[in-house]
Chain A
Amino acid sequence: MKKLFALILVLAIALIPAAFADAKARTLDEIKESGTLTIGVFSDKKPFGYVDETGEYQGYDVYFARRLAEDLGVELELVSVDAPNRVEYLTSAKVDIILANFTVTPERAEVVDFALPYMKVALGVVSPDAALITDIEGLRGKTLIVSKGTTAETWFTANEPDVNLLKFDTYTETFNALLDGRGDALSTDNTEVLAWAIENPGFTVGIESLGSLDTIAPAVQKGNDTVLAYINEEIEALAAENFFHADYEATLKEVYGDAVDPDNLVVEGGVIE
């Protein structure tokens, strides 16, 4: 009886969202009219989206978000999102745009619309110097820490079944888990692990580039063409002033120092060379 009840309930929950059309996202005109652009960003993923000690949002994504609102002539409202629920925020029309280090994948492109890329990354793997892992061979049979809903989780699940994944909900938890020795290594975007290893002596990025080269792009709700067009126009126009290099200087440089060539991360005008 109880089991049957649980089953019915789970089915009902699963079917409710499927039974109805998604909430319609706001068009560009509606956003202008309201005077506020709502963008979902990370609030605990330095240096892309985080909150500084004065309580202000900062980071590479946030820098761009500010410019998008400014050029549209509206106020900016930032919403704190996490990796697992980024898509939900768009499909339920809670935000107009997601600018949360969102890696473009074919699966995601089925549920959201990506604009032109403004960054490019591959996966990186960081591990303690004492037991440094330098190739994919060395990872098999080991425990790898990943964040739920990230490219790393998807890629390892699909391509490396012999790697044991230890998953956490937030980035903070994943890095803490590596520090606590709860796994042998940690994988996420190489930008992330490179920056982290610089500041954490005793840890090194043994694998700097894994998987295919991915791009990072803003996302809007599927079919929200007016907002998508606006973002693409912006990205193309901003190339003239080398906007994303300026963004890099303002937000990423302090983290990567000279270890990384900006041209290896930054994409101007949406064009990948």
Chain B
Amino acid sequence: MQDLAVLFKGNNLARLLGGLGVTLKLSLLSVALSVALGLIVGALMTLKNPVVRAFFRLWLETVRIVPQLVLLFLVYFGLAKAFNIQISGETAAVAVFTFWGAGEMGDLVRGAITSIPVHQRESSAALGLTRGQCWRFVLLPQAARRLVPQAINLATRMIKTTSLVMLIGVVEVLKVGSQIIDAARYDAPQAAVWIYAVVFFLYFLACWPISLVAGRLEKRWA
């Protein structure tokens, strides 16, 4: 039980929660920006213009092929090295995760829009609706319903991936856990299991409400 006690020693629990705060701040900011940008990007991705298509193709392939860690290093260390642009680890993290999220989200939005049968567009046109009205009342509401499950999946993936930011000096929940385990490793070498269990639980707490909201939305729209 000495191992579990490590959790309540000093400010350890508060520090873990603080770390969770950093994780949530970074991920929620990135997710919010990704969703907002992704809607615009997705609409643009449906355009037929070859230049536009090539641009978004390049973007999407970049975020799919390059590991997020490489992107983080590129932005955090690379910008500093190449252009002497010094940005904080948190800024770099939000920039990279938004770059990633907006690309992926855009592709989800594009998929959701193009999966709507062409008849939906035609029959709203036949009803005398303008293009804008067609998007607002017919296409976007249907796209949103198709989008929610995939967007939730992306958001939870982003929350979990934020643990990478510890490697650019940002101390988030997993790094705090690692620090606590290390500081106690001579006194309570088995504490790791407990600390990781708590970290797991905290991640769960962070992602659970999102899944809950998603489930409710899906049920309402099913």
Instruction: Spell out A's residues near B (CB within 8 Å).
Output: 2, 5-6, 9, 13, 16-17, 19-20, 22-24, 40, 43-46, 50-55, 79-82, 84-85, 88-89, 91-94, 169-172, 175-176, 179, 195-196, 198-200, 255
Collect the chain A residues with CB atoms within 8 Å of residue B175's CB.
Answer: 43-44, 80
Complex Cα spacing A81 to B166, Å: 8
B83 touches A20 (CB 8 A): yes
Give A54 to B185 CA distance when docked, in angstroms: 16
Q: Are B186 and A93 in contact (CB under 8 A)?
A: no
- Shortest C-beta distance, A77 to chain B (Å), equals 11
Instruction: Write out, one digit per residue, whether chain B residues 165-185 have a CB within 8 A of any chain A CB (1) or not (0).
Output: 011110100010011111111
In the assembled complex, the Cα of A116 lies from the Cα of B101 at a distance in Å of: 46
A86 to B119, CA, bound (A): 58
Which residue of A24, A81, A171 is within 8 Å of B169 (Cβ)?
A: A81
Which residue of B12, B66, B183 contacts A46 across the interface (Cβ within 8 Å)?
B183
In contact, A79 and B169 (Cβ under 8 angstroms): yes
Alpha-carbon gap, A195 to B182, bound state (A): 13
Q: Contacts A43-B175, A82-B166 given; indicate if A13 touches B70 (C-beta within 8 A).
A: yes
User: A51 touching B179 by the CB < 8 A rule?
Assistant: yes
A88 proximity list for chain B (CB < 8 A): 73, 77
Chain A hits for B167, CB < 8 A:
82, 84-85, 169
State whether the Cβ of B74 lies closer than 8 Å to any Cβ in chain A. Answer: yes
CB-based contact A176/B86 at 8 Å: no
Question: CB of B9 within 8 A of chain A?
Answer: yes
In chain A, what residue has the closest Cβ to B8? A53
Assuming the contacts A22-B81, A53-B11, asked whether A199 and B187 have C-beta atoms less than 8 A apart, the reply is yes
B residues 110-159 in Cβ contact with A at 8 Å: none
Given that A9-B66, A81-B169, A91-B77 are contacting pairs, would A200 and B82 also be in contact in the complex, using a CB cutoff of 8 Å?
A: no
Q: State the total of A-B contacts with C-beta under 8 angstroms.
A: 119
**B169 and A80 contacting across the interface, CB-CB below 8 Å:** yes
Decide if A92 touches B179 in the complex (CB within 8 Å).
no
Which one of A17, A80, A85 lies within 8 Å of B82 (CB-CB)? A17
Q: Chain A contacts of B189 at CB under 8 A?
A: 179, 199-200
Can you report 16 A-B residue pairs in the complex whose CB atoms are below 8 A from each other?
Answer: A5-B65, A9-B61, A20-B81, A24-B84, A46-B183, A53-B183, A82-B166, A85-B73, A89-B169, A94-B76, A94-B77, A94-B169, A171-B182, A172-B182, A199-B185, A199-B189
Q: Which residue of B lies closest to A79 (CB)?
A: B169
Within 8 A of A (CB), among B49-77: 61-62, 65-66, 70, 73-74, 76-77
Contact of A23 among B6, B9, B84, B169 (CB under 8 A): B84
| B183 touching A50, Cβ below 8 Å | yes
Other-chain contact of A20, B10, B82, B181 (Cβ < 8 Å) = B82
Q: Give the docked Cα–Cα distance between A93 and B80 (Å).
A: 7
Query: Once the chains are docked, how many angstroms separate the CA of A53 from the CA of B185?
Result: 12
Cα-based distance from A54 to B176 in the complex (angstroms):
12
Query: CB-nearest residue of chain A relative to B82?
Result: A20
A51 lies within 8 A of B84 (CB): no
Establish whether residues B84 and A93, one from each chain, have CB atoms under 8 Å apart when the complex forms. yes
Contacts of B66 on A, CB cut-off 8 Å? 9, 13
- Chain A residue with Cβ nearest B61: A5
Q: Which residues of chain B come closer than 8 Å to A171, judged between CB atoms?
A: 182
Closest to B186 in A: A199
Chain B residues contacting A169 (CB-CB under 8 Å) are 167
Alpha-carbon gap, A161 to B65, bound state (A): 32
